[in-house]
Amino acid sequence: MAGLLDRLVGGEILVSDGAMGTMLFERGLKTGECPERWNLERPEVLEEIARLYVQAGSDIVQTNTFGGSPLKLAQYALEDKTEAINSAAVRAVRKVVDDRVYVSASCGPCGRLLKPYGDTNPEEVAESFERQLKAVAAEGVDLICIETMTDLTEATIAIKAARTAAPDTPIAATMTFDATPRGFFTIMGVSVRQAVEGLAEAGADIVGSNCGNGIENMILIAREFKQHSSVPIIIQSNAGLPEMKDGALVYPETPEFMAEKCRELVDMGVSIIGGCCGTTPEHIRAMKAMINERGE
């Protein structure tokens, strides 16, 4: 299998997978329950989800390790199982993907505020991310994706931890933005331009955005990334913003709507296109079909 970065630099567009949490909730995960615990207790569910995304056409499939850092797992008294949880997640995906699909290790925020805004030392955060990422690297992932970040300092720490834990593994880093009257900013006040410059300077090979927005806002965010970035861009949109219907959260954007809108991402040269909250294998299948139709 050709190197992921080589394919992106060569102009190929890859399709990542969609939501993990949405799929887990559909299969019985309860609000407040630790999703990563399922890596140990119900690995067959993770295998099923990976298989569905591969069948839908994903070129990249993520691991269920978004909250797999020991600082985050400590909220569930699971920090002592960090290595087992992260290793099991990679093995579950590897068991079902073929040699044409890349395995991406998901790494989300640690769940703590760094000083001076909170009480957590940057060194503690760095150690936490490094411990998690050494575990996934030992299982041979093809990509580490630092995602859903809002604090550029935390994102930078995570990227550097990934470089230490897996020096030869490509790193993607994404941040989550909100629309404001002044443009798009994270809740910690990071602009798209600051994100692009900070993530790339820290060592990210791929930069972009995930979560927090439906596809139309993500197109606007992607345009800003293209203005400032010299490295490949990844965009993973929600299926719109969730709405309550009959006591359940529903994401309104259909696979057909998202796939049609994703044409604009293809036209502007986004390298990796996928989904976040609310997206399903059907959304990914529609995106893949659109890209195939265009001969990408």
Is the pLDDT assigned to residue 36 strictly greater than 50?
Answer: yes
Is the pLDDT assigned to residue 127 strictly greater than 60?
Answer: yes
Q: What is the CA radius of gyration of the chain?
A: 18
Q: What is the mean pLDDT of the chain?
A: 96
Report the candidate in 92, 15, 97, 20 with the shortest Cα–Cα distance to residue 59: 15
The CATH code that applies to domain 4-293 is 3.20.20.330
Is the pLDDT assigned to residue 142 strictly greater than 90?
Answer: yes
Contact (CB, 8 A) for 191 and 185:
yes
More confident call, 118 vs 182: 182
Confidence band of 74 (pLDDT split at 50, 70, 90)? very high
Contact (CB, 8 A) for 253 and 239:
yes
Report the candidate in 66, 7, 1, 10 with the shortest Cα–Cα distance to residue 39: 66
- pLDDT for 84 equals 98
Which residues, other chains included, contact 165 with Cβ-Cβ below 8 Å and sequence gap of 6+? 130, 133, 134, 137
Tens digit of each residue's pLDDT (9 = 90 or more) over 266-285: 999 999 999 999 999 999 99
Strand, helix or coil for residue 234: strand
Tens digit of each residue's pLDDT (9 = 90 or more) over 191-239: 999 999 999 999 999 999 999 999 999 999 999 999 999 999 999 999 9
Describe the crossing of helices 152-165 and 192-202 by its angle, rounded to 10 degrees.
Answer: 20
Q: What length does the chain have?
A: 296
Tens digit of each residue's pLDDT (9 = 90 or more) over 147-182: 999 999 999 999 999 999 999 999 999 999 999 999
What letter represents residue 242's amino acid?
P
CB burial class (10 A; 0-12, 13-18, 19+) of residue 216? middle
Is the pLDDT assigned to residue 53 strictly greater than 60?
Answer: yes
